[in-house]
Amino acid sequence: MADEFSIIERYFTWDDSPKSVHQGVGDDAALLNLPLEQQQLVVSVDTLISGVHFPVETNAHAIAHKALAVNLSDLAAMGAEPAWFTLSLTLPNTDTEWLSEFSEGLKSLAKLHNIFLVGGDTCRGKLSITIQVMGFVKQGKALLRSTAQQGDHIYVTGTLGDAAAGLAVLQNRLFLSPQDTAECVSKLEYPQPRNSMSRLLQGYASACIDISDGLLADLQHILDASNVGAKINTHTIPLSSALKKLDHSKALELALIGGDDYELLFTISPLKAYQLKPLIRSRKLNIRCIGTIDQSMNKIKLHPEINLPHNGYQHFS
Ligand code: ADP
Ligand code: MG
């Protein structure tokens, strides 16, 4: 059985630390060099609990990926450049194969997004992973929820509802072909946070949020924070080829209220949307306009209307 210190040394003390890390894992706390420019520190933390945020049988590589991905997605939603993260890990046992897969999953996504593990905590208990990410944004340039304006266009990245479809298949509530199942389960287990898209949206988007609890629930957060309403054209909701094969109302239900997409939902003024067009074309940006912000205080109007069982995922409802 590996002890706590050899676990930290073997799996969570990484080589090649960036210059910004004066002291990473190994002392009582991390010592980090701040950038010189006028920047703001952006901090976010998310916990993933086995059986709540991922099925108990999920493999360690995927768990690590998702734990970091959901946090990177929060930095993307703020328009922040990833820098460092800490990891608080509660483990039921010290299975070295599990730990090795976990640290591989963490490392490969961290490398891809230029974010470095600088510290954490390790203890014994029911499997739970808490990651805190830190990043930077130029002063005044963060993408907030509270700054959507009447007349803005509403955009989303990627396709919606795939992760929810993947979960439904795993729970035997939905049947898809083997290939569609693989694609949807991969969206569920390996969400790809939209940090590079977020970089492009700086200077264009007026407000932004990442879609973790479902399109409607997360759009509602922008509406509440900005005191505006929204009109959504349900025909324009982007659906993957897997979801297009389903009954249309079922696919829309998954896309509107299914969670775990980790796509970005952002608003943009008509002028900025016009200015963004050449970039959309030249970079083939995978984004779609799905509606507009209006003055109907805090309300979402769906056109054409559809009946939904509820508005999205909540932990305490
Ligand atoms: P302390 O008792 O001072 O809290 P720990 O023994 O918890 O110290 O941690 C020792 C060092 O290892 C610290 O630098 C801490 O940040 C780091 N660390 C502990 N657990 C992890 C982990 N899961 N991932 C990354 N770093 C960790
Ligand atoms: Mg500690």
Tell me the per-residue pLDDT of 199-222, one tens digit each, with 9 for 90 and over. Answer: 999 999 999 999 999 999 999 999
What is the distance between the alpha carbons of residues 88 and 58, in angstroms, rounded to a whole number? 19
What are residue 106's phi and psi, to 5 degrees? -70, -45
| Residues 157, 263 contacting (CB under 8 angstroms) | yes
Cis peptide before 304 (omega within 30 of 0): yes
SS3 of residue 7 by DSSP: helix
Nearest partner of 119 among 89, 147, 78, 75, judged by Cα: 89
Tokens of 88: 């608080």
Q: Please work out, in degrees rounded to the nearest 5, the angle formed at the alpha carbon of residue 250 by the alpha carbons of 248 and 256.
A: 100
Top-confidence residue, 296 or 162: 162
- Phi and psi (nearest 5°) for 279? -65, -40
Q: Could you read off the pLDDT of 53-104 as tens digits, one per residue?
A: 998 999 999 999 999 999 999 999 999 999 999 999 999 999 999 999 999 9
d(CA 121, ligand 2 centre) in Å: 4
Which listed ligand is nearest to 25 at the C-alpha? 1
Q: Ligand 2 is a single-atom ion; what residues have CB below 5 A from it?
A: 121
Q: Which ligand is nearest to the CA of 26?
A: 1
Ligand 1 atom 18, closest CA: 120
Substitution candidate for ligand 1 out of 122, 123, 124, 127 with most atoms within 8 A of CB: 122
CA of 137 to the centre of ligand 1 (A): 27
Entry pTM: 0.95
Mean pLDDT, range 129-144, rounded to an integer: 97
DSSP 155-183: EEES-SSHHHHHHHHHTTS----HHHHHH
Q: How many CB atoms lie within 10 A of CB 199?
A: 12
In the chain, what is the straight-line distance between the N-terminal and C-terminal CA atoms, in Å?
Answer: 41
User: What would the pLDDT profile of 47-58 be if each residue is shown by its tens digit?
Assistant: 999 999 998 999
59: nearest Cα among 94, 96, 98: 98
Q: What is the pLDDT of residue 317?
A: 42
- Residue 130 pLDDT > 70: yes
Cβ(138)–Cβ(37) below 8 Å? yes
Write phi, then psi, for 267 (nearest 5 degrees).
-115, 155
Q: Which residues contact 19 (CB under 8 A, 6 or more apart)?
A: 33
Average pLDDT estimate for 248-266: 95
Count Cβ neighbours within 10 Å for each residue of 263-275 and write b for 16 or more, e otherwise. bbbbbbbeebbee
Bridging pattern class, strands 81-91 and 116-124: parallel
Compute how many other C-beta atoms are within 10 angstroms of the C-beta atom of residue 25: 19
For residue 310, pLDDT over 70 is answered with no
122 CA to centre of ligand 2 in angstroms: 7
The structural domains of the chain, ordered by start, are 4-138 (3.30.1330.10), 153-303 (3.90.650.10)
Q: Which of 191, 233, 182 is nearest to 210 (CA)?
A: 191
Residue 106 CB burial class (10 angstroms; 0-12, 13-18, ≥19): buried
Question: Which residues pair with residue 89 across a beta bridge?
Answer: 122, 129
Query: Nearest Cα to 33, choosing from 48, 44, 18, 46?
Result: 18
Edge-to-edge order in the sheet of strand 229-233: 205-211, 263-268, 153-157, 287-294, 229-233, 300-303
- Nearest Cα residue to 206 out of 133, 308, 159, 275: 275
Average pLDDT over residues 186-192: 97
Instruction: Enumerate residues lining ligand 1, CB below 6 A.
Output: 8, 12, 25-28, 87, 89, 117, 119-122
Query: Which of 102, 121, 122 best tests ligand 1's pocket when mutated (most atoms within 8 Å of CB)?
Result: 121
Sorted by sequence, the CB contacts under 8 Å of residue 250 that are 6+ apart come out as none
Percent of the chain with pLDDT over 90: 90
